[in-house]
Amino acid sequence: MGNLILLRHGETEWSRDGKHTGRTDIPLTAHGEERATVLAAALAGRDIVAVFTSPAQRAVRTAQLAGLTGAKPDPDLWEWDYGGYEGMTTPQIGQQRPGWYLWRDGVIPGDAAHPGETVQQVGARVDRVLARTAPQLRDGDVALVAHGHVLRVLTARWLRLDPADGRLFRLDTGTASTLGSEHGEPVILSWNVPPTR
């Protein structure tokens, strides 16, 4: 049985500045590209049988730089749709909604390109990803290259937790994590590991 390897994309200007970046498709910074390249070392020697990425260029480029070939875009790996909070920082949102917390309070609807999602809707998307990758894990490791919040929700669902329990798993840009099993039970094997040269 293989493991599920999670890569959060490298840094973008918005992730660096703390802006909620759901469906806005922006590129990696030079620093983000450098860290993505170094992630290749964490993947060396792994028996990766399939690679899936968010359709966002920041995830696709991270996969390329990390040496993951044959990646297939999966729309279910898009980041949480932040609706009307797209491009805003938590302090900016807090000016409108004091004490706002994404995992508890959710988002407000935005424009047609950013209608917004609930955490349960994100959970339904990642459940589909997990169902599709399960048969491939019988043959080796599967790599998923995506975004911070969607991968945190996916991890919660891997562990059979509620989608909102993704709040428990901080995940930085340009990091690798591994989900697997122990005695037939889902576990986290490594988490939020920064790249090393």
Has residue 197 got a pLDDT over 80? no
Helix (H) or strand (E) holding 154: helix 148-158
13 flagged as catalytic: no
Catalytic residue among 11, 20, 33, 79: 79
User: How do residues 128-146 score in pLDDT, each as one tens digit?
Assistant: 999 999 999 999 999 999 9
Confidence class for position 72, pLDDT limits 50, 70, 90: very high
CATH code of the domain occupying 4-79+124-193 = 3.40.50.1240
Do the bridges between strand 72-73 and strand 176-182 make them parallel or antiparallel, or are there none, so unpaired?
Answer: unpaired
| Strand pairing report for 48-53 and 72-73 | parallel
Q: What is the pLDDT of residue 78?
A: 98
9 an active-site residue? yes
Whether pLDDT at 42 is above 90: no
pLDDT at 44: 87
pLDDT grade for 45, boundaries at 50, 70 and 90: confident
When pLDDT is averaged across residues 32-59 and rounded to a whole number, the result is 95
What is the chain's mean pLDDT, rounded?
A: 96
Where residue 121 falls (left for φ over 0; alpha for ψ -120 to 50; beta otherwise) is: alpha
**Better-predicted residue by pLDDT, 152 or 197:** 152
Residue closest to 50 by CA, chosen among 148, 154, 129, 124: 129
pLDDT above 80 (res 96): yes
Percentage of the chain beyond pLDDT 70 is: 99
For residue range 46-59, list pLDDT tens digits in order. 999 999 999 999 99
